[in-house]
Amino acid sequence: MTLELEQQIKSAGGWLKKYRHQASSTGCQMRFNLFLPPQANEGNVPVLYWLSGLTCNEDNFMQKAGAHRLAAELGIALVAPDTSPRGDAGKDAQGRDIMDADRYDLGQGAGFYVNATEPSWSAHYQMYQYIVDELPALLAEHFPITDRKAIAGHSMGGHGAISIALKNPDQYASVSAFSPITNPSRVPWGETALTTYLGTDKTQWQQYDSVELLNRITDPTGYPHLLVDQGLADEFLEEQLKPQQLETAARQSDYPLTLRRHPGYDHSYYFIASFIDDHLHFHAHHLFDDPSDA
């Protein structure tokens, strides 16, 4: 599979590299950012996937979170894919238009990390397959990374990170999220996206709903530990995020969740930048066989 390096930038002793490639899962050009710490010059390193939120792309986390310095110290690669299929100027390799919507919470920039089944969207909106299968295989083929990986995200990306980890517990050493959409089948953002991409049968929505997935777990042994940070001044807290639903479901299944609430913090990257070091240390503890090595 051909990778095109668009830009590389020296950062914190490592390299931020921006790539594009033709993805088979989404049927179009996809972009991702990769930060390789200096330890990657000497051998393979574990990797943390970051899934961004609504309206974001592959650049937001790398530019705003301030994660490179500590990732370089810990020896962890960071991968930030785009949030949806966009292709080249909104078109796929055959020159066909990639579906979009005239609203910020649907379409390009809002892929919601599901495999769309509705005919208008299914040709390209296969973000779950891209994140879980295609992108990791691509990275393993071309870059000095180990098979140890963790996953994290923000808002829509927090929903994606948690639901993906719960569906694939053997693939991820740990999972974390900032301000995640925890119960998408019961909030406006999720209802809009899941109806559009999956149809009106709500039983199909449950496979991507973190609360519903937690409710199915009878024995959490072997599942990745989960860290969630939530700002209490978040304007979307009550209507869209509902962390209390995640907390209740985790308590009932005895799932290893740490949910931290922070007075005064909102939904922005200022919040993420304030606590990203905690998340990197959390993932390092689980990614390295001997946490003291981190």
Q: Which residues are catalytic?
A: 155, 234, 267
Return d(Cα 219, Cα 28) in angstroms, integer: 39
Return d(Cα 83, Cα 125) in angstroms, integer: 10
Return d(Cα 91, Cα 103) in angstroms, integer: 18
Query: Residue 93 CB: number of other CB atoms within 10 A?
Result: 12
Write the burial class of residue 73 (CB in 10 Å: 0-12 exposed, 13-18 middle, 19+ buried): middle
- Residue 18's SS3 state is strand
State the pairing for strand pair 174-178/145-154.
Answer: parallel
Count, in order, helices (H) and strands (E) of the chain: 10, 9
What letter would DSSP give residue 97?
B
Return d(Cα 141, Cα 67) in angstroms, integer: 25
Q: CA nearest 105: which of 169, 33, 187, 43?
A: 187
